[in-house]
A and B are shown apart, each in its own frame.
Chain A
Amino acid sequence: MATMTHTQPSIEQMPKGRLALWILIAGEVAIFGGFIMSYILYRLRLSDWGPQTVHTVVWAGALNTMVLLTSSFTIVEAHAAAIKKDLKNVAKYMNITLILGVVFLIVKGYEYNMKFSHHLSLTSPSLLTGTDMAAHIGSLYWSYYFIMTGLHATHVIIGMIAIFMVKLQAQKGHALHRVELAGLYWHMVDLIWIFLFPLLYLAK
């Protein structure tokens, strides 16, 4: 039976795994783009959103930004190690990335806790129980805050699972090409945060 493909060598050739990841990333970017775009529109048009932003914790956001930037660096170092088939460093860098992911989630959890203790949540305050006029218009701001950061955190978790599963194989030397693919997804998660951070924490 003839070999699988007779693709001609051309510049269109791209390893199919990488191609698939890029299309997935494009789709995900479109989804987050929808959230970010509508957030920006509301932020510009509803003058009562501005005061709400005071309550986001800049140092937590900044710390998380550093954490994610560093984790992007470590996962790409893992990729570089995978190319050299340096299994020890592959495992080491992927582990560091995972730990940084955990740190991100812990900081996020602490932040959420702070918000909840101030009665700020996805649906708060409700229409008639809130006596503070500014607060109950600002509730939409918090709905956006929680849904965007929550969805992002979900993707952080998905990315960590992917990295973990790839690591199990890669540290034994199998399927090393997948290190890059997990990395691509992780970079996307970082990229989204690169925009969420100024939007939610700095632009006040």
Chain B
Amino acid sequence: MENKDILENDYHGHPNYKAVFGSLVALFAISVVADLMKGTLGNGLALTIIFATAFIKFFLVVANFMHLKFEPVKFLWLPIFTMFAVFVFLILVYPDVSIIELKVSKW
């Protein structure tokens, strides 16, 4: 299959790139504002907003700019989720695994 034919075999449908970009900028603005307002919001809430916006931005880029939402090969979502699952798992496991908390050299 000639790669050039790909342009004719393009995705079925495109997102509105400008709208997606607008959402990305808005989310970015929210995260910066949340950071600046850490005092009033409290650290926990601010961090939640910041990382939630990061995840949403991630999915917007992956689904729209990288066209995963329009990709007929749906199984590609699997590696994305697996990656998250694996790393979330790793994070959960590690603090439990190693009980060495070092502030100063004890060696």
Contacts and interface: CB of A to CB of B under 8 A. Distances in A.
A-B complex is real: yes
Contacts of B9: 15
Interface in A31-87: 33, 36-37, 40-41, 44-48, 58, 62, 65-66, 69-70, 72-73, 75-77, 80, 82-83, 85
A26 interface: yes
A26 B79 contact: yes
A105 interface: no
Q: Is the interface of B mostly helix, strand, loop or mixed?
A: helix
Interface centre among A5, A58, A183, A198 (most CB of B within 10 A): A198
B21 A73 contact: yes
Contacts of B35: 58, 202
Interface stretch (A109-117, A146-154, A184-192): A184-192
Interface in B38-69: 38, 47, 50-51, 54, 57-58, 61-62, 64-66
A29 interface: yes
A73 B65 CA distance: 8
Interface residues on A, range: 35 or more
A73 B87 CA distance: 28
A33 B79 CA distance: 13
A102 to B, nearest CB: 20
A12 B47 CA distance: 40
Contact of B91 (A17, A40, A195, A202): A40
Given A15-B3, A45-B101, A202 B57 contact: no
A17 B6 contact: yes
A47 B61 contact: no
A66 B71 contact: no
Contacts of B87: 33, 36-37
Contact of B3 (A45, A65, A72, A177): A177
B82 to A, nearest CB: 9
B103 interface: yes
Contacts of A58: 32, 35
Interface string B69-96: 0011100100100010011001100110
A61 B107 CA distance: 37
Contacts of A80: 14, 17
A188 to B, nearest CB: 8
B25 A15 contact: no
21 contacts: A7-B1, A14-B71, A15-B3, A16-B3, A22-B79, A26-B79, A46-B101, A48-B103, A69-B25, A69-B28, A72-B61, A73-B17, A176-B7, A195-B58, A198-B31, A198-B54, A202-B31, A202-B32, A202-B35, A202-B50, A204-B38
User: Which 4 A-B residue pairs are closest in the complex by CB-CB distance?
Assistant: A73-B21, A177-B6, A15-B6, A76-B65
Given A66-B25, A73-B17, A203-B47, 5 more contacts: A15-B3, A37-B91, A41-B95, A198-B54, A204-B38
